[in-house]
Structure 1
């Protein structure tokens, strides 16, 4: 039949998404626009962590 080689195609590049830069609220998981500095649903500031701080817990008091 012949040695027909298929032409090499460049790999598909992912289309830049309209969602690029959007962020999910760490509290209510709502997907906010990149421009929003606080969540449109629950007003939590962008970048607010729901993890407990390392400094939470007991602080030892000296009782001399």
Structure 2
């Protein structure tokens, strides 16, 4: 009764080897080779996030008074 594992249940397999050596663009979803540092279709850098910027970040700080 201590063994709760089913003997017929297959073990989890690692990702298929066909996916190795590629990365999917987070913007246009094009599948690029692992060597590419930017997307071949839209020129977005590898690993670029599509999330909106947090309030108060340097690029969205437009409320600063000028001189």
- Category of TM-score, reference length = shorter chain: 0.5 to 0.7
Segments of 5+ residues of structure 2 without an aligned counterpart are 1-9
The runs of at least 4 aligned residues of structure 1 exceeding 2 Å deviation read: 14-19, 55-61
Normalized per residue, the structure richer in helix is 2
Scaled by the length of structure 1, the TM-score of the pair is 0.56
Scaled by the length of structure 2, the TM-score of the pair is 0.54
Q: Please provide the CA RMSD for this pair.
A: 2.8
Q: Rg larger in 1 or in 2? A: 1
Segments of 5+ residues of structure 1 without an aligned counterpart are 1-10
